[in-house]
Every structure is written in C-alpha cells, then in structure tokens.
Amino acid sequence: MLVVHPERCTACRLCELACTFHQDGVFHPLKARLTVGIFPEDDVFVPIICEQCEVAACQEACPSGAITRNLETGALEVNTSRCVGCRMCVMACPFGTMVHVDVDGKMQKCDLCKGDPQCVAVCPWGALEYVEPNDAALARRREVARRLAGVLKGVRV
Amino acid sequence: MYGWTGRMLRVDLTAGTATAEELCPHDLHVFVGARGLGSKLLYDAGAYDVDPFAPENPLIFATGPLTGTYAPSAGRYNVLCRSPLTGAIAASNSGGYWAPELKFAGFDLIYVTGKAAAPVYLWVHDGKAEIRPADGLWGKTVSETEYAVRARTHPEAKVACIGPAGERLVRIACVVNDRSRAAGRSGVGAVMGSKNLKAIAVRGTGPVRVADKEAFKAARKRAMEKILTHPVTSAGLPAYGTAVLVNVINAHGAFPTRNFQTGVFPEADRISGETLAKEYLVRKKACFACSMACGRPTAIPSGPYRGAGEGPEYEAAWALGADCGVSDLAAVTHANWQCNEMGIDPISYGATLACAMELYQRGYLSKEQAGRELRWGDGHLLVEGVRLTAFREGIGNLLAEGSYRMASEFGHPELAMTAKKQEYPAYEPRAVQGIGLSYATSNRGGCHVRGYTIAPEVLGIPEKLDPLVADNKAFWVKTFQDATALVDSSGLCLFVTFAIGVPEIADLLAAATGEAYTAESGLLAGERVWNLERMFNLKAGFTRADDTLAPRLLSEPMPEGPARGQVSRIDLMLPEYYRLRGWDEEGRPTEATLARLGLRW
Ligand code: SF4
Ligand code: SF4
Ligand code: SF4
C-alpha cells in the first residue's frame, strides 16, 4: 500500500503528473488518482491518496459491483466494462480519490499501477512510499509512538 | 498539437475584448515558445518604437512547449514587453504553478495591449476569458490580491498580479505569481500597472499532451539521472537554496559589496544559505514539476523583523545584504518578504538603495535631499525603503526610478552599477571576467541569467575556467547565451542546466512536440532568439556604446581579495564576441548571419 509522509513533500506535484501520464498518457493533474493539497498560506503540503480501505465506501456504494480487489496488489480496481458512470463512488469516498475519466465516461481510481506505483517512483523526496500493508501499519504505529515520545520528553519533533 | 496548445489569448484592455486565436505553427517551431515566441511577437508588433508605458506596448505572458509536463522543472513562463527601466526588450522568467495552469486552460500565451479605463483583472478559465473590474483590489499587496482574486474566481485559480509598486509605475516593479514567484526584472510589473491590469487569474482543467509518450519518458529519465546525481541540483540547491553561493562567491573576491566598491564582504556568512537554513528556514519548497526545491519558506519568530514569507535567495541576499552593507539576516529576510508583497525586484531595489548610499557617502546626495541619513548597513532603512519605494514616498520616489535615473539626477550616473540602465546582480565583473561580458552584452541589461558563466568560471561546470582570464570568454558567453535562450523558450528552469545540456533539452522538445529538434537545431534556435532580441534593441536605438559596464569596473582596480588589482577587460572581449556572433564592428548582425538564422529586419 501507499504511505504518505507529508513533512517530506515539497509540493512539486510530480506525482500528479506521473500518475496521469502513466494511466491516461497525458499530463492532467485534475484527473490524477492522487492530489497534493497545497496550502500556500501556511506552507503545508499534504498528498491525498486512495487508502485502498479494507471496508471500502466506494465498493459498498457501487450498484453494479464494478469495484473489486486485486488480490495480488491489494488495490481496489474499477472494472470498466461493468462501471455505468453513475458516480455513486465519488459521493461515497471520504477522500475524494475517485476520478471521472473523460475518454470513456467511466470512473477511475488508484490501482497502485498494478504494483509499480509511478507516483512513488517519481517523488524526489520519498514523501510517498510503497510498502507491505503490515509494514505500513507497523510503521505508522511507530511514527505515532515516536511523536508521543517526543511530546512526553517535552521536545519538538 | 503536442507540447504547445497552439492557441493564444489576445486581450485588448482599451476595447475590453478577449479572444482566442491560433498561433502560427512555423513560429512555434522556430522560436520554440516562451521567451523566443514572445520576442517574435514583440518584434513583429514594432514594440521597439513604442513608449513602454503606452497602451500599445504589448505585455505578453508566454509559456513553453514543455511547460505543464513532467520534464525537469518545467513550470515556467516569461513576461515580455518593452522595458520601462531599460528601453530594451524585457523578458522576465517565473516559476510556481501559474504557467502550467495556463496550459491546462488551453493557452500557450496571453497577449495584452491597451489600457483599461479603471483597474481590472483578467479571469481566464478553460479556453475563455473575462475582463472584470478590480474593485477594491487596487492598493492591495500581492498576497492580499491573490487571496481576494481567488475568492472572486475559483479556489484553485492561480494568480499572477502586481503589488502597489506596479500600480505606481515603479520602474523596478515585478509581476508576482503564487505569492512569491516573480517575473522580477526590467520593470514588467510597471507595464502591467500602466495598463490598469491588477491580476490575471487562471484555472485550467484540461490536459497537456506530448507527441511520443515512450520517447518523452525515456528523455526525462536520461535527464533526471543527471539532475538527481549532480551535487548542485541534487544536494546544494535543495539543502541551502541558491544562497549556498554566498560563501563561495565571497571566497573568490567576487561578492560585490557597498555598491561594488569591493568584492569582499567580511560578514558574508551571516547572510548565507547555510545560516538561513539554520536560523529561519521552515522547509524546502518546489515549483511545479521540480525536483530541486530551492524555494525557501522562512519565518522569524520574534524581534522587530518577525513574520513569515519566502526567501531570500542568493541574489536577494546579496542585493539587500552585502551591496547595502547589511549583515543582519533578519532585516534582509524581512526586506525580501516586503519586496514579494509590494511587487518589487529585490536585486534592483537593493542595488538602487546601495547606489543612494554611495551618493550619500560621497556627499552627492544630502541628508536634506534624502529626507534622512543613508548609512551603510542600516537594516531598518532597508526594510522601510521597500514600502516607501512601492508607494513612491520620500526617498522611495527616487529609488522607484532605478539607480541610473536616480544617480543621473544627482549628476553622477557613473555610480549606477548598471548595464543598459539595469542593475547588475551579485557577481563582480572585475573578479569574474566572463560574467562582465555577459552583463555588457545582455539584451535586457545587467543580468546573470542570460549567460551564467559563473558555472564554468567559479563552479567548474562543465569545466573549470580561470575567472581572472579574459581569453576565450567570448566563446563561453556566446554559447551560454544561446543555450539559455533555448532553455527559457522551452519552459524549463535554468537551474537544470547545472546538470543537463542542450542535447537532453532537444530530446525532450522533440518527444514533446513531434518536431525534429536536435542538439544543433536547438542551439541554433537559441541563437536565433538572441539575434532577434538584439535586432529589437538596435531598432530601439541601442548601439555598440551600450555594450559596456560602469566606468568603475573598467578603470578602478579591485582593491582587495583574490581579484586585487583587476579591472574588467570588456575592451578585449567585445570585438571577439561580435566576431563570433557574426556581427559587424558596430554590433549589428550581418546579412549572412541573419540568413543563416532565417531572420529578416
Ligand atoms: S476510493 Fe475512497 S473509499 Fe474507495 S478505497 Fe479508495 S479511499 Fe477508500
Ligand atoms: S499508485 Fe499509480 S494510480 Fe495510484 S496514485 Fe500513484 S501513480 Fe496514481
Ligand atoms: S512528488 Fe512527492 S514531493 Fe512532489 S508533490 Fe508529490 S508527494 Fe510531494
């Protein structure tokens, strides 16, 4: 799965570009399967990705059963022959990571590039990482623990 | 069309019209885009004959064919017009996110003429545009304008605008986009102000296409392998920003200090990128599609200069620092934020203030005339002066004219450190011979980003040259000028050329556009652009006599440091430069040269 380290992100948006170039053959940030939230007022940058949720709202919402899990990568994928373009998944996804691709009027989402995520490959700063789901969960717990430890010690991290 | 969108937006502010037009495919191919294409349009419009502040002076915002793609650091555009500072051609380059947004909106460039009856802003979205009243925006700072315009248009709109300086026709005013990315030099912001145009907001939801996907991927990969391993582009710039140069240049005795009275600033380290990273740097920040992230969001937590903003980068740290004798990094940083907010070029501002300080030092400008003391190293004056200049108050009204006009008013134009009336940047021509020739021959006046020979002369990229030697520098200056014209026309950031050269850029251009760019034809395109700019200036009345430097640099030996005793040897280098360029002794392109480049008077 993908893991984000927002503190490493520089807001270059290369990930958005690489995503659509790989998936759709054009540079089209609006249709990228991930988006870098850029808040220039505070210089905070947060890439928002598909979490490939265990119980996925998009999948639950889909009336035609078009969203299925690729067991090899763990990604939820859109079966375009089944997708009717009703956009229920767009409304359901809490992260807003479903996109509507103009070419065929079907929905698209992050499929982890079938296990070779291009956003990760292009990111110059390691702000996006591709890891085993269990490792990711562990890493995240450790990260939280590290922050807590910092707070407990009264130092800034 | 691939790479290019093939369309431009023509705006006539007098008539209140904005219409989409097709661009000529041949012009796109041979002038590439951005700086090159904009120069072609300016030349064809006869802008060399118009008053810079006349409604007829075109103000062009031009992207390149790589802008909006993931080519290395390909997020740039140029603002072009006839400059109110120099009278020469102006082409100022900026990054951020504005330029790719224009491509996503379906335009390669925006061509603005005329003058609105009252302040307006332009709202460009997906192939359409509206001219809207800028009620309540006039007088606002850059960030205030950006937020207000976004609130009136779209939350995702990208905004390029002027601050109070551009509104008041300050000749060193810039156009600022994304709050702190500026088309900084030659007073392009004042031309925008003269048109009563406060801002251009852009929102685009379309794609940018390239001709050959696999070839483009491969070309990028080859370029990135170099960029991600070169020490300057992979480590130096990200860690310390461009101000990593402060100590390096100072060690060469080439760090102009107190209006170029010397090349050594003993307190240089206090205003260096290393110190900035330690003291005030919040994080590193990138422009669109850039892996180098030299942007410097900074914050000062307490004291008289507290606040937050971006910068300074190298040139600003020097102009606001050493050139004014200021070593208080907090004052320099805060003055830089003020320049961003007021929409003022920090190089020309710092250099003009430095010139005023020297006029004062020598008694040519009295306390009564200045309305205050002008002492070297006065951080408060440095900070306050930015606002005074933007609003043309007190001493600011003098500074607003740039150093050449100001120094002339007090009878001492020789103390203006300018070429073609534009202030030099942060390298001493007596200590680095090639850069002096580069300043003297730059088509937009004193400037380091037209032929950055600091790379070979100081940094040893691509090979090390002796900075104190004048021999053969004409060749390097010409080559760098032509290559840079190609870079600026393609939409890339110049900094990628620390690691990659014309062959990599030509590959990217060919794959993106589907046109047959090669290393040879790419460099030739750069040379074509250079000559066209030269023709513009010749028609604007410039002559060989304008290809020179301030008298101090030609006759007063450097007083100290590694370049002690040196003067600039323009006299030796210029004739060789003209010969290599295929120009006659008066610096005019010969018929044979024009024919070779496919240009006509
Ligand atoms: S699209 Fe949204 S709901 Fe569906 S798996 Fe991804 S994040 Fe979860
Ligand atoms: S893994 Fe692939 S599809 Fe998913 S966001 Fe990254 S580049 Fe896009
Ligand atoms: S490529 Fe990496 S650094 Fe750049 S915006 Fe995406 S996550 Fe951030």
pLDDT confidence of residue A151? 63
User: d(Cα B46, Cα B113) in Å, to the nearest integer?
Assistant: 13
Partner-chain contact A24 B291, CB within 8 Å: no
What's the pTM value of the predicted model, to 2 decimals? 0.95
pLDDT confidence of residue B320? 98
| B414 or A154: which leads in pLDDT | B414
Relative to the CA of A113, which ligand 2 atom is closest? 2
pLDDT digits (tens, 9 = 90+) for B6-64: 999 999 999 999 999 999 999 999 999 999 999 999 999 999 999 999 999 999 999 99
Q: Which of A24, A43, A116 to mutate to test the interface with B (most CBs of B within 10 A)?
A: A43
The amino acid at residue B1 is: M
Q: With 60 as the cut, is the pLDDT of residue A155 above it?
A: no
Q: With 90 as the cut, is the pLDDT of residue B484 above it?
A: yes
Name which of A13, A21, A125 is nearest B288 (Cβ-Cβ). Answer: A13
Contacts of A155 (CB under 8 A, 6+ apart): none
Mean pLDDT of chain A, nearest integer: 88
User: d(Cα A84, Cα A90) in Å, to the nearest integer?
Assistant: 13
A129 touches chain B (CB under 8 A): no
Q: With 90 as the cut, is the pLDDT of residue B240 above it?
A: no
Q: Could you tell me the distance, in angstroms and rounded to a whole number, from the CA of residue B126 to the centre of ligand 2?
A: 26
Which residue's CA lies nearest to atom 7 of ligand 2?
A19
Q: Which of A112, A114, A120, A129, when mutated, tests ligand 2's pocket best, judged by the most ligand atoms within 8 Å of its CB?
A: A112
pLDDT digits (tens, 9 = 90+) for B104-151: 999 999 999 999 999 999 999 999 999 999 999 999 999 999 999 999
pLDDT confidence of residue B369? 95
Q: Could you tell me the distance, in angstroms and rounded to a whole number, from the CA of residue B521 to the centre of ligand 1?
A: 48
Q: With 90 as the cut, is the pLDDT of residue A144 above it?
A: no
User: d(Cα B296, Cα B50) in Å, to the nearest integer?
Assistant: 38
Partner-chain contact A13 B104, CB within 8 Å: no
Which residue's CA lies nearest to atom 5 of ligand 1?
A52
Q: With 80 as the cut, is the pLDDT of residue A42 above it?
A: no
Q: With 80 as the cut, is the pLDDT of residue A154 above it?
A: no
pLDDT digits (tens, 9 = 90+) for B507-516: 999 999 999 9
Report, as an integer, the average pLDDT of B516-537.
98
pLDDT digits (tens, 9 = 90+) for B459-468: 999 999 999 9
Partner-chain contact B288 A18, CB within 8 Å: no
Confidence band, pLDDT 50/70/90 cuts, at residue B251: very high
Partner-chain contact B104 A28, CB within 8 Å: yes
pLDDT confidence of residue A1? 85
Partner-chain contact A14 B289, CB within 8 Å: yes
Confidence band, pLDDT 50/70/90 cuts, at residue B389: very high
Confidence band, pLDDT 50/70/90 cuts, at residue A157: very low
Does the beta carbon of A56 sit less than 6 angstroms from any atom of ligand 1? yes
Does the beta carbon of A2 sit less than 6 angstroms from any atom of ligand 1? no
pLDDT confidence of residue B346? 97
Name which of A11, A17, A41 is nearest B70 (Cβ-Cβ). Answer: A17
List, as one string, the DSSP characters of B73-106. T---EEEEEE-TTTSSEEEEEE-SSHHHHHHHTT
Contacts of B319 (CB under 8 A, 6+ apart): B346, B347, B348, B349, B350, B351, B354, B423, B425, B426
pLDDT digits (tens, 9 = 90+) for A67-118: 999 999 999 999 989 999 899 999 999 999 999 876 677 899 999 999 999 9
User: d(Cα B411, Cα A52) in Å, to the nearest integer?
Assistant: 72
Q: What is the percent of chain B with per-residue pLDDT over 70, rounded to a whole number?
A: 100
Report, as an integer, the average pLDDT of B583-600.
98
pLDDT digits (tens, 9 = 90+) for B175-211: 999 999 999 999 999 999 999 999 999 999 999 999 9
User: d(Cα B44, Cα B423) in Å, to the nearest integer?
Assistant: 28
Q: With 90 as the cut, is the pLDDT of residue B236 above it?
A: no
Q: How do strand B7-12 and strand B109-113 relate by DSSP bridges?
A: parallel
Partner-chain contact B293 A30, CB within 8 Å: no
Report, as an integer, the average pLDDT of A49-70.
94
Q: Which of A109, A110, A111, when mutated, tests ligand 1's pocket best, judged by the most ligand atoms within 8 Å of its CB?
A: A109
Residues in chain A: 157
The amino acid at residue B13 is: L
Mean pLDDT of chain B, nearest integer: 97
| B421 or A41: which leads in pLDDT | B421
Q: With 90 as the cut, is the pLDDT of residue B265 above it?
A: yes
Q: Which of B447, B452, B454, B453 is nearest to B419 (CA)?
A: B447
pLDDT confidence of residue A43? 81
Report, as an integer, the average pLDDT of B344-365.
98
Task: Tell me whether residue B350 is exposed, middle or buried, using C-beta atoms within 10 angstroms of its C-beta: 0 to 12, 13 to 18, 19 or more.
Answer: buried
Q: Could you tell me the distance, in angstroms and rounded to a whole number, from the CA of residue A129 to the centre of ligand 3?
A: 11
